[in-house]
Amino acid sequence: MKFKIKNHIVFEDDHLIVVNKPANLLVIPDRAGVNTNLKVLLETYIKQDIFIVHRLDKATSGLVVFAKNAVAHQKLNQQFQQRTVIKKYYALVNGRLKEDKGDIELPLTIKSNASKTVVDLKGGKPSHTSYEVIDTFSRYTLLDITLHTGRMHQIRVHFAGIGHPLAIDSLYGENEAIYLSSIKRNYRLGKGAEERPLMNSLTLHSYFLAFEHPETRATLTNKIDMPKNFRVLLNKLGDV
């Protein structure tokens, strides 16, 4: 993946580094040992080892924090474990929700092969997602989501579980991409032209991350905009 990693650094000091991860980039190497991942790219750029605090799915874009030393790592990990970190996401889901705001508390279990999460009403771990509607379109809804627990694929599974999977999510939904031809009536493509998708990454973006700085103990608030392709898609949806 070719991009200038320095342009994706949101905050950095001697204790930690916050990065805006592009979609379809691993946070850490996968089981196959693929080296194209955010951790290695950052370590190469800042020329030091860093510690993993939390992760985003490969397909999810947005804020990720790494620690630069063991003490910061321990203190940040403790905040994530105690659920004092504020984590917010933008998500575009299928359909229109009945309520403008609400909570989803379906218990979740990771399947034995660790590749997928499922709703498990009897044996699942408590999981809590809250949401508020930002905007509605003919076939989709844009949500502001607060993640209270951090189960694997939690947002994706929770909204699929209530019948509103992410607009683009081939694992828990149906679509791998959204094309203008699928949302615009009487769309015509030029002869011999090949239509490109408006967006072909997960319609989920971690835009807000707030926590206590491990050294100063001041609240460190990080907020970023949506990726360009996400904004383009929303503009097109608003036009049709």
Q: Is the Cβ–Cβ distance between 206 and 60 less than 8 Å?
A: yes
Eight-state DSSP code of residue 37: B
Q: Is the Cβ–Cβ distance between 100 and 142 less than 8 Å?
A: no
CA distances from 204 to 17, 50, 233 (A): 22, 26, 13
Instruction: Please list, residue by residue across 177-208, b when 16 or more beta carbons sit within 10 angstroms of its beta carbon and e when fewer do.
Output: ebbbeebeeeeeeeeeeeeebbbbbbbbbbbb
The pair of structure tokens assigned to 220 is 């460190």
Q: 111-116 long-range CB contacts below 8 Å, 24 or more apart? A: 114/152, 116/153, 116/171
The string of DSSP codes covering 176-238 is S-B-GGGTSTT--PPTT--PPPSB-S-SEEEEEEEEE-TTT--EEEEE-PPPHHHHHHHHHHH
Catalytic annotation on 57?
Answer: yes
Q: Which of 49, 57, 120, 169 is catalytic?
A: 57
Q: Is 38 helix (H, G, I), strand (E, B) or coil?
A: helix
Angle ∠(221,224,230) on CA atoms, nearest 5: 150
Main-chain dihedrals φ then ψ at residue 42, nearest 5 degrees? -65, -45
Residues catalogued as catalytic: 57
